[in-house]
Amino acid sequence: MHPTQNLPSSELSKLLDSYRKFVETELYPIDLKVVQGPFRSYLPQLNELREKAKNLGLFAPHLDKESGGLGLSLSDFARVSEILGTSPLGHYVCNCQAPDIGNMELLELFGSDWQKETFLHPLQKGKIRSCFAMTEPANAGSNPVILSTTATREGDSYVINGHKWFTTAADGATFTIVMAVTNPEAESPYQRASMILVPLDNPGFSLIRNIPIMGEEGEDYLSHAEVKFENCRVSSDHLIGKEGQGFALAQERLGPGRIHHCMRWIGICERVFDMMCHRAVSRELLPGKPLAEKQSVQNWIAESRAEINASRLMVLNVASRMQELGSKAVKEEISTIKFYVADVLMKVIDRAIQVHGALGVTDDTLLSFWYRHERGARIYDGPDEVHKASLAKSILKKYRPQ
């Protein structure tokens, strides 16, 4: 989907400046308020911002030009993504937010013409939203092959039954893609599940609740739903790709997805780092004695700088290699950045809170929002431990005595 050609560096640099200016002037002044919600009440304002982004040529940077996007390479998009990530509204306003961006990538690559027409195109234009139903409360998300949700073929339909949660942004979405077992008898557990499109007005679908997470239910785009499929029937043209391809497609979806997350996290790190530095020079312990003079604060700033720089270099390096060599070739590196950057993110946020003192635990800054909502970063898309084990096993395979 992404072209493999990067922008000339001066052009990219100009584009990044435009994004930086946009987030700083349009989003920073309002993002704290918006994330405190209620989110729906801000939709009109957010839609206006989307129009502005379109007019400025900043909308949908990940899409090719024919689809109304900027046609950026994965590497260039990664750079944009970092800047958008500095505001919790950045990706949303530019219509490249998870989980929609993953669904767009998936449908672009594997959707039928009908699926593209009906689901992908309105999504690309930001007219509708979507979600992705994979994780199940009854099964460990870290072992994705264990799924209880089934989609049984009955004539020309699939009948779906199952219980999912962490279906991000289901509230207000138009459709979901659901991962369900269609071929329980397949030999490999990786070939039993399929991805199926389900419009959310289907009577067999119900949204049980927006799960209260870290103190907030949220709503609309800013929510994570628990949902049920009860004899939920869709015609067979809602299948994406072929039966049994669920995991193969999920891998395709998750590869760039993890780069997107990592670059977004780096954006958060940079904003948080900036807040930490501002606080350090402005908060005084005694008149003329700012926190900045404390060596502990200096240590945190230095360590954070090092770790953020390391994160960016690693993620951009993977992005450029994935762009050149494909997802599979960089499997190890993807695991590496997933756990490394998530860890850096949480450490940087934690240090910034400590520098902010009492203010840091209030909702008067974005620190609390990120401290709470990004704790999941070390869990979703594979917990730290799974990625570490998977990386190590892959490395050790080369050492195994013959």
Q: In the range 296-315, which residues lie near a copy of itself by CB under 8 A?
A: 296-299, 301-303, 305-307, 309-311, 313-314
Compute the least distance from the CB of residue 203 to a copy of itself, in Å: 27
Q: How far, in Å, CA of 181 to CA of 191, rounded?
A: 9
Q: Exposed, middle or buried by CB within 10 Å (0-12, 13-18, 19+), for 190?
A: middle
What residues from 14 to 73 belong to the interface with a copy of itself (CB under 8 A)?
36
365 contributes a contact to a copy of itself by CB under 8 A? no
Binding span for a copy of itself by CB under 8 A among 76-84, 119-127, 151-159, 331-339: 331-339
6 binds a copy of itself (CB under 8 A): no
Whole-number Å distance between alpha carbons of 393 and 18:
43
- What tokens appear for 382 in the block? 């594979």
By CB under 8 A, tell whether 208 contacts a copy of itself.
no
Does residue 362 interact with a copy of itself by CB under 8 A?
yes
Whether the Cβ atoms of residue 176 and residue 164 lie closer than 8 Å to each other = no
Select from 92-100, 152-160, 197-205, 211-219 the region that touches a copy of itself (CB under 8 A).
Answer: 211-219
- Residue closer to a copy of itself, measured from CB, 302 or 325: 302
| Of the residues 34, 340, 352, 370, which one makes contact with a copy of itself according to CB under 8 A | 340
The candidate with the shortest Cα–Cα distance to 87, out of 73, 78, 72, 97, is 97
Residues in the chain: 402
Give the interface segment with a copy of itself, choosing from 82-90, 179-187, 251-259, 333-341 (CB under 8 A): 333-341
The answer to whether residue 382 forms part of the interface with a copy of itself (CB under 8 A) is no
Give the residue with the Cβ less far from a copy of itself, 229 or 370. 370
Give the contacts of 113 (CB within 8 A, at least 6 positions apart).
none
- Which of 4, 41, 143, 188 forms a contact with a copy of itself (CB under 8 A)? 143
Residues 150-179, one symbol each (x = binds a copy of itself by CB under 8 A, - = not), give: ---------------xx-------------
Contact flag: residue 378 with a copy of itself (CB under 8 A): yes
The answer to whether residue 325 forms part of the interface with a copy of itself (CB under 8 A) is: no
Q: Which is nearer to a copy of itself, 58 or 316 (CB)?
A: 316
The neighbour count for residue 175, using CB atoms within 10 Å, is: 24
| Residue among 318, 313, 252, 340 nearest 74 (CA) | 318
- Closer to a copy of itself by Cβ: residue 128 or 314: 314
Does position 146 interact with a copy of itself (CB under 8 A)? The reply is: yes
Whole-angstrom distance, CA of residue 353 vs CA of residue 259: 26
Contact between 13 and a copy of itself by CB under 8 A: the answer reads no
| The 3-state secondary structure of 37-71, one letter per residue | CCHHHHHHHHHHHHHHHHHCCCCCCCCCHHHCCCC
- C-alpha to C-alpha distance for 338 and 350, rounded to whole angstroms: 19
- Rounded distance between C-alpha atoms, residue 391 and residue 382, angstroms: 12
In whole angstroms, give the CA distance from residue 150 to residue 164: 11
**10 binds a copy of itself per the rule CB under 8 A:** no
Number of residues that bind a copy of itself (CB under 8 A): 86
Binding test (CB under 8 A) with a copy of itself, winner from 339, 345, 348, 352: 339
Residue list 119-138, contact with a copy of itself (CB under 8 A): 135, 137
**Min separation Cβ 156 and a copy of itself, Å:** 34
Distance, in Å, from the CA atom of 50 to the CA atom of 227, rounded to the nearest integer, reads: 29
Query: Which residues touch 263 (CB under 8 Å, ≥6 apart)?
Result: 78, 79, 81, 82, 85, 315, 319
β-pairing, 175-181 vs 289-290, is: unpaired
Q: Among residue numbers 238 through 297, which ones bind a copy of itself (CB under 8 A)?
A: 277-278, 280-286, 291-292, 294-297
